Amino acid sequence: MLNDPDALQTIEVLSVIEQQLSRAIEQLANVTAQAGALARRTDWRTDAATRFHAGADSWRHDVAGLAGFVEDARNEVSAARARIELRVWSPAG
C-alpha cells in the first residue's frame, strides 16, 4: 500500500541514477582499456616514451579503481530503490 506520496517519484529517480551509474561503469571500463592500449603502443626507445608509458599505466590503474567505487554506489542505489519498492508495494500492517 502506498503510504508515501513521494515514494513513486523517488523510485523513478533512483532507477535513473542506477542506469546512469551502470553507463559510467561501462565508460570507465572503456577508458581503462584505451589507456592500456596507449601504454602498449608506446615506443619504449626514448625516455619521454618510458615516462608516458608509466603515466598511462598509472592512469589506467586509477580509472580501474574508480569503477569499483561507482559499482558500490550503484549497488547502494539499487538496494535503496528495492527497500522503497518493498515499503510501497507491501500491504499495510
- Chunked into runs of 10 residues, the chain (93 residues) has average pLDDT values of 76 95 93 80 74 81 88 96 88 61
Judge whether 77 and 17 are in contact, CB under 8 Å. yes
Cell numbers at 54, concatenated: 608509466
Q: pTM here?
A: 0.72
* Percent helix / strand / coil, the chain, rounded to 5: 85, 0, 15
Amino acid at 3: N
